[in-house]
């Protein structure tokens, strides 16, 4: 019997990677739903390849263009996620949530009750809304699988063991394009320097987060929530090759090191085939990398944002939404050449100690509206450029 699946954000890099995996095994999958924000041409192309009968395109103008372009009566096109109760008559087997940004939180939450398994690649949903997602997962007995290479590798290594068995978890960071740049030159860093990532082909936003190491701060927050461990059990190591993705030390003395090629196809492949034995074609083990891992502790002077982790609350709070929103806005300012690269880290560290923002460390989001309301308030009312 074919697995019924859905892909939220199918035209983004994660969604397209899964699409390419499925192209080689079309006979075993029935894609019930594909969604996108703007890229209606790619969405329609995917729908025709897999004979998908339901599409959601959230951008209003492009939704109208898609409606006009689509000549098939078999494809139903919707403009928002309020329509999913019409699409899913009963639980399907698997949903991948790969919508980027805080916009992915609401669709992810809505879809949990309609699937047996949800694989989440939307880090903002986990960082800001984990306590809300966790309740919905438990309520609907839906299995959750993380998609990010670091978190999937931990998920794979732990294999449902209790967090009390864990002594320490290390996430690795490539260090991005600035790892070997002297600190004194950071003040002169330009956008093209930051976007030139040595290992991964990423969008501008993620490339900048990788250069500041804010992406790794967010991944530590995710790991803390997903695996229910204290921050003191989590640490970051630089690893320029991006070959090792996590290291887990257990209380019984054993250490697991999870490595794989710098290819997101591997964790994505393993989320869709989590319950079956399936081979994937990969490169031979890279002995050169394993013999010289170059693992090292973080240079806090170069990457000061990691100091944010020292002052985060152990309980879920609205401050995580503050961090996500502030970082988004500061990255936008850097992209517009309105602040320096080093200003991103400086201003985030100020926000981490400013009472105007730290008050949210004591407030837990009760529902998704608390998160979205705060996100909107901060974007509209705070001038992040002038924070000092």
Give the domain CATH number at 324.
Answer: 1.10.1740
- Residue 244 lies inside a defined structural domain of this protein: yes
How many residues are there in the chain? Answer: 388
Whether the pLDDT of residue 201 is over 70: the answer is no
Whether the pLDDT of residue 216 is over 80: the answer is yes
pLDDT in tens, 328-348: 999 999 999 999 999 999 999
> Distance between alpha carbon 130 and the CA centroid of its chain, in Å?
13
Asked which of 114, 147, 180 is the last residue of a domain, the reply is: 147
H or E element in which residue 55 lies: strand 54-57
Q: What is the pLDDT of residue 70?
A: 83
Residue 80 neighbours by CB under 8 Å, 6+ apart = 56, 58
- Residue 268 lies inside a defined structural domain of this protein: no
Residue 135 neighbours by CB under 8 Å, 6+ apart = none
- Residue 50 lies inside a defined structural domain of this protein: yes
Q: What is the pLDDT of residue 1?
A: 84
pLDDT in tens, 265-280: 999 999 999 988 899 9
Structure tokens at 323: 């961090």
- Residue 154 lies inside a defined structural domain of this protein: yes
Q: How many domains does the chain have?
A: 3
Residues 229 and 178 in one domain: yes
Q: What is the pLDDT of residue 156?
A: 93
**How far apart (Å, rounded) are the C-alpha atoms in residues 342 and 347?**
9
Asked which of 115, 147, 179 is the last residue of a domain, the reply is: 147
Residues 77 and 206 in one domain: no
Alpha helices by DSSP H, listed for 24-104, are 40-50, 60-69, 84-87
Residues 17 and 119 in one domain: yes
- Residue 277 lies inside a defined structural domain of this protein: no
Residues 347 and 209 in one domain: no
Contact 120, 267 (CB under 8 A): no
Whether the pLDDT of residue 203 is over 80: the answer is no
Residue with tokens 């944002």: 305
pLDDT in tens, 71-93: 778 899 999 999 999 999 899 99
Q: How many CB atoms lie within 10 A of CB 297?
A: 9
Whether the pLDDT of residue 131 is over 80: the answer is yes
Residues 96 and 181 in one domain: no
Whether the pLDDT of residue 200 is over 70: the answer is no
Residues 70 and 186 in one domain: no
Asked which of 95, 130, 147 is the last residue of a domain, the reply is: 147
- Residue 272 lies inside a defined structural domain of this protein: no
In 266-323 the beta strands, taken as DSSP E runs, fall at 296-297
Residues 125 and 9 in one domain: yes
Residues 302 and 162 in one domain: yes
Contact 260, 153 (CB under 8 A): yes
Q: What is the mean pLDDT of residues 117-135?
A: 96
Range(s) of the domain holding residue 94: 3-147
Residues 66 and 142 in one domain: yes
Residues 164 and 293 in one domain: yes
CATH number at residue 27: 3.40.50.720
Residue 275 neighbours by CB under 8 Å, 6+ apart = none
Whether the pLDDT of residue 318 is over 80: the answer is yes
Residues 129 and 187 in one domain: no
- Residue 278 lies inside a defined structural domain of this protein: no
Structure tokens at 17: 């990677």
- Residue 275 lies inside a defined structural domain of this protein: no
Residues 197 and 245 in one domain: yes
**How far apart (Å, rounded) are the C-alpha atoms in residues 246 and 166?**
13
Please state, rounded to an integer, the average pLDDT across all residues of the chain.
94
């Amino acid at each position: 019997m074919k697995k019924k699946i859905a892909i939220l954000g199918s035209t983004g890099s994660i969604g397209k990677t899964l699409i390419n995996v499925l192209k080689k095994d079309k006979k075993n999958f029935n894609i019930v739903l594909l969604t996108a924000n703007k890229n209606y041409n790619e969405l329609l192309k995917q729908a025709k390849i897999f004979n998908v009968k339901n599409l959601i395109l959230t951008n209003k103008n492009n939704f109208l263009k898609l409606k006009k372009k689509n000549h098939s009566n078999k494809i139903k096109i919707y403009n928002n996620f309020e329509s999913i109760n019409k699409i899913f008559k009963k639980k399907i087997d698997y949903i991948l949530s790969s919508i980027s940004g805080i916009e992915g939180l609401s669709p992810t939450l809505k879809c949990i009750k309609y699937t047996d398994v949800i694989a989440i690649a939307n880090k903002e949903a986990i960082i800001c809304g984990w306590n809300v997602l966790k309740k919905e997962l438990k309520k609907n007995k839906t299995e959750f699988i993380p998609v990010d290479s670091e978190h999937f590798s931990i998920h794979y290594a732990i294999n449902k063991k209790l967090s009390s068995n864990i002594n320490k978890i290390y996430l690795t960071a490539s260090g991005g394009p600035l790892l070997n740049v002297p600190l004194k030159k950071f003040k002169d860093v330009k956008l093209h320097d930051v976007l030139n990532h040595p290992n991964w082909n990423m969008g501008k936003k993620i490339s900048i987060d990788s250069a500041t190491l804010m992406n790794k701060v967010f991944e530590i927050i995710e790991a803390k929530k997903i695996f229910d461990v204290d921050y003191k059990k989590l640490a970051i190591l630089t690893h320029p090759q991006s070959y090792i993705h996590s290291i887990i030390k257990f209380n019984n003395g054993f250490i697991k090191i999870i490595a794989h090629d710098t290819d997101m196809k591997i964790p994505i492949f393993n989320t869709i085939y989590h319950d079956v034995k399936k081979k994937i074609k990969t490169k031979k083990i890279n002995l050169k990398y394993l013999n010289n891992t170059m693992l090292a502790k973080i240079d806090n002077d170069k990457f000061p944002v990691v100091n944010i982790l020292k002052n985060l609350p152990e309980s879920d709070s609205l401050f995580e939404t503050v961090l996500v929103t502030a970082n988004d806005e500061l990255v936008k300012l850097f992209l517009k050449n309105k602040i320096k690269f080093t200003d991103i880290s400086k201003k985030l560290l100020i926000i981490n100690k400013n009472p105007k923002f730290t008050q949210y460390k004591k407030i837990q989001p009760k529902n998704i509206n608390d998160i979205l309301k705060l996100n909107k308030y901060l974007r509209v009312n705070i001038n992040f450029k002038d924070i000092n």
